Amino acid sequence: MERVTPPVTPPATPTAVPAPAAPDRALHLRPAKLALAWALALTLLLHFLPMLLPDWGLRWLQWPLLILSTLVHELGHGLSAAAVGGEFQALRLWADGSGVALANGNFSAPDRAAVAAGGLLGAPLMALMLLMSSRHPRGAHVALGACAAGLLLVVLLWAANPFAVGFCIALGVPLALLAWRGPPAASQVICVFLAMQLGLASFSRADYLFMATAHTGDGAMPSDVAQIAAALWLPYWFWGGLIVLVTMAMLGFGAWWFLRGLR
């Protein structure tokens, strides 16, 4: 009798289960890259459109940014005075782009130099903080909200003339609304854009760093670098050059920090 051997079923080959794909990092980088592109495009339009179309009278588009840079400059003076033990009394802005911060205190020579330098470094420091915050949409939201809160404090505590009050309100309300209800992408674009403008403002009036006299709505007075030279030693142009180097270092670090996140 013939014996029938049952077929042998080969062992099942284990099926490899693919590991879940890692989150696509490009999706996280895309908002920051778009924010940089939009901010750069707006900056180029804002600065070159008035030159390309001189008969259209578009210079006024740059005027709010001039006032903003003056505001940050004067806040740098006032807050530096408070930091070294003085009293930040008042801040005034004028439509021609000039401004003044009034402070009182028993300042030593190094204190007076610090107060003068605080204004010159206000714009690059603010640009640095905005760049560091704008790598992520949430950070941009927080930064714009902090700016709006800071402008409210300026109105309540220090703004001493109607123009300063009106400008701070006109700038603070849109920033507050954007931080509260605005789309994250828009907050990121505005944050990067403001950082660019303050960075450019640090150099657009760089000639001021090599002047002995400043002209404001209150009249002529010693420039910031002249005040540093009077409080310490060496000529005012030396301190102007040093401020330029510090400004470049701050802006360079901010740009590196932001761009590093795009890799």
DSSP 179-232: HHHS-HHHHHHHHHHHHHHHHHHHHHTGGGGG-SEEEETTEEEE-HHHHHHHHS
Name which of 22-31, 60-69, 76-85, 176-185 the model is least confident about.
22-31
Average pLDDT, the chain: 87
- pLDDT of amino acid 10: 55
- pLDDT for the residue 187: 92
Residue 77 falls within a domain, yes or no? no
pLDDT of residue 262: 76
* 39-48 pLDDT tens trace: 999 999 988 8
**pLDDT for the residue 158:** 97
Task: Answer yes or no: is 67 within a domain.
Answer: no
Residue 204 in any domain: the answer is: yes
Q: How far is residue 123's CA from residue 244's CA, in Å, rounded to a whole number?
A: 12
Condensed to tens digits (0 to 9), the pLDDT of residues 149-200 reads 999 999 999 999 999 999 999 999 999 999 999 998 899 999 999 999 999 9
- The token duo for 12 is 């099942």
Whether residue 170 lies inside any domain: the answer is no
| pLDDT-based confidence at residue 221 (cuts at 50, 70, 90) | confident
pLDDT at 1 over 50: no
Determine, yes or no, domain membership for 259.
yes
Residue 92 has pLDDT above 90, yes or no: yes
What's the confidence (pLDDT) of residue 218? 63
Please state, in angstroms and rounded to a whole number, the distance separating the CA atoms of residues 253 and 257.
6
Q: Does this model's pTM top 0.75? A: yes
Strands 213-216 and 219-222: antiparallel
Domain of residue 244 covers: 31-39+108-143+193-263
Determine the pLDDT at residue 102: 94
For the chain, where are the E strands, in sequence order?
Answer: 87-93, 99-104, 213-216, 219-222
pLDDT at 217: 61
pLDDT at 245 over 80: yes
Helices (H) and strands (E) in the chain, counts: 9, 4
Q: Output the pLDDT for position 65.
A: 93
Most confident of 127-141, 150-164, 214-228: 150-164
26 vs 86: which has the higher pLDDT: 86
Q: Tell me if 66 is assigned to some domain.
A: no
For helices 63-83 and 109-120, give the axis angle rounded to 10 degrees: 160
Residue 219: inside a domain, yes or no? yes
244 within some domain: yes
Q: How many domains does the chain have?
A: 1
According to the model, what pLDDT value does residue 200 have? 92
- Alpha-carbon distances of 247 from 34, 119, 128, 257, rounded to whole Å: 26, 12, 10, 15
- The pLDDT assigned to 47 comes to 84
Neighbours of 200 (CB within 10 A): 18
